Structure 1
Amino acid sequence: MRRSPTSLSRVDPERETALAALDPLTVTKLWDNPCWLSFRLNFVAFRFNDPVYRWIETRYGLVRPEFVALYAVGLKEGVAAKNIVASSGLPKNTLSRAVQKLLQRRLLKRETDPADLRSYVLHLTAAGRRIFDETMPLMVKHQSAMLACLSDDEQQQLCTLMDKLVIASPGWPQELWPNETEQEGI
């Protein structure tokens, strides 16, 4: 079994002190784990998302799927719900319910897609835009706090490496067992 390229044996004493503050299972999952990348990405994403979504739910009464939809439309006006599903990983029915609630609360409006008159696109209302504009600076500040431990060059390198992973992702397997023959061999 392949070990993490950043196992604890390679950690410098300064980091060891910082790691002592973490739960032992968390340390094991993030450093002594053959699937270190996915666990680290999830750990960092959770540390970003959890406080953001808790604040948004408390402040605006929006649950995560609702804010995911509102945020997507705030980033790209005139987007279709199917595009939000594709970019967020949320199930279609979950996103559909979220969009319906945002339409009912008049945070989004739906219009006929000028490029395909059979489809609809979404736009923020003035109230939806206010929420988007109020949340964005806090999210940027939170991200900046997370990145503060990296130099500008390291942040650029991280961005470049993440670009490579994202661009390669369509070629990754979508199922653990691409066909029944492989599944039976386990």
Structure 2
Amino acid sequence: MDRLLSTALHEARAGRETPGSQHLPQDDPLFPKLWDNPCWLSFRLNFLALQFNNPVYGRIQQQLGLLRPEFVVLWSLYLGNGLTLTEVVRSSNFPKNTLSRAVNKVATLGLIDREIDPSDQRRVTLTLTEKGRAAVVSVKELMLEHERAMLECLSPAERLTLSDLLTKMVVASGSWPRDLDLNAEAATTD
């Protein structure tokens, strides 16, 4: 099915201008990655994510001294204070061991508090401290400005459509495989 979709996309674009292609010469190394790439979705998503993550998290590291996973914990709690580590993992898609180390660091720095649930001693709730909230607020506008710059090329209707489509994919992602079993794939192709 992926090959069919990729072929269909390629054929649909053959002989016509593609969105944005009028500003991108065919000899640009980006051109084949956009228009001849069988993994078109993953390329676009990764490329755009890096356009946000590299400058924004680089600045956060300079300004706050926090690595991306550490700030992800703070941002998760900023959006939904009073979460467990498992809930932060689920809502960010980072590995649990990575976020566990991040939680330990931001707790040591006084950016979050941990509270044991009296009714379930295994449940630990994470909350932002005032210092943690101030850290997030200090870089929030930088993040929003960079995101606005990235979305500037889209009309308001296109932004809404993009948001709706990406939201649909994020929600569906819970049913996607977490690991790719190459041995199982080899067995089915033999």
1:43 Cα deviation (Å)?
0.7
SS in 2 for 1:97: helix
* C-alpha separation in 2, matches of 1:41 and 1:67: 21
Q: How do residues 12-51 of structure 1 correspond to structure 2 at under 5 angstroms?
A: 12=18, 15-20=20-25, 24=29, 26-51=30-55
Structure 1 residue runs of 4 or more that deviate by more than 6 Å after TM superposition: none
* C-alpha separation in 2, matches of 1:53 and 1:23: 28
Structure-1-length-normalised TM-score: 0.86
Deviates more, 1:51-60 or 1:107-116: 107-116
1:181 Cα deviation (Å)?
4.6
Alignment partner, residue 65 of structure 2: 61
CA contact (8 A) 1:108 1:124 kept: yes
* C-alpha RMSD over aligned residues: 2.5
1:23 Cα deviation (Å)?
5.4
Q: How do residues 88-127 of structure 1 correspond to structure 2 at under 5 angstroms?
A: 88-113=92-117, 116-127=120-131
* C-alpha separation in 1, matches of 2:36 and 2:15: 10
Aligned residues: 183
Alignment partner, residue 137 of structure 1: 141
Q: How do residues 163-174 of structure 1 correspond to structure 2 at under 5 angstroms?
A: 163-174=167-178
Structure-2-length-normalised TM-score: 0.84
1:168 Cα deviation (Å)?
1.9
1:174 Cα deviation (Å)?
3.0
CA contact (8 A) 1:4 1:32 kept: no
Q: 1:104 to 1:4 in 2, by over 3 A?
A: farther
CA contact (8 A) 1:30 1:36 kept: yes
* C-alpha separation in 1, matches of 2:17 and 2:132: 46
User: What are structure 2's unaligned runs of at least 5 residues?
Assistant: none
1:115 Cα deviation (Å)?
6.2
CA contact (8 A) 1:112 1:118 kept: yes
Q: Deviations over 1:105-157 (max 9, x none)?
A: 11111112366343111111111110111111111111111111111111111
SS in 2 for 1:5: helix
SS in 2 for 1:123: strand
CA contact (8 A) 1:29 1:39 kept: yes
- 1:5 correspondence with 2:9: yes
CA contact (8 A) 1:4 1:34 kept: no
Q: Percent identity?
A: 44
1:27 Cα deviation (Å)?
2.8
Aligned AA for 1:18? H
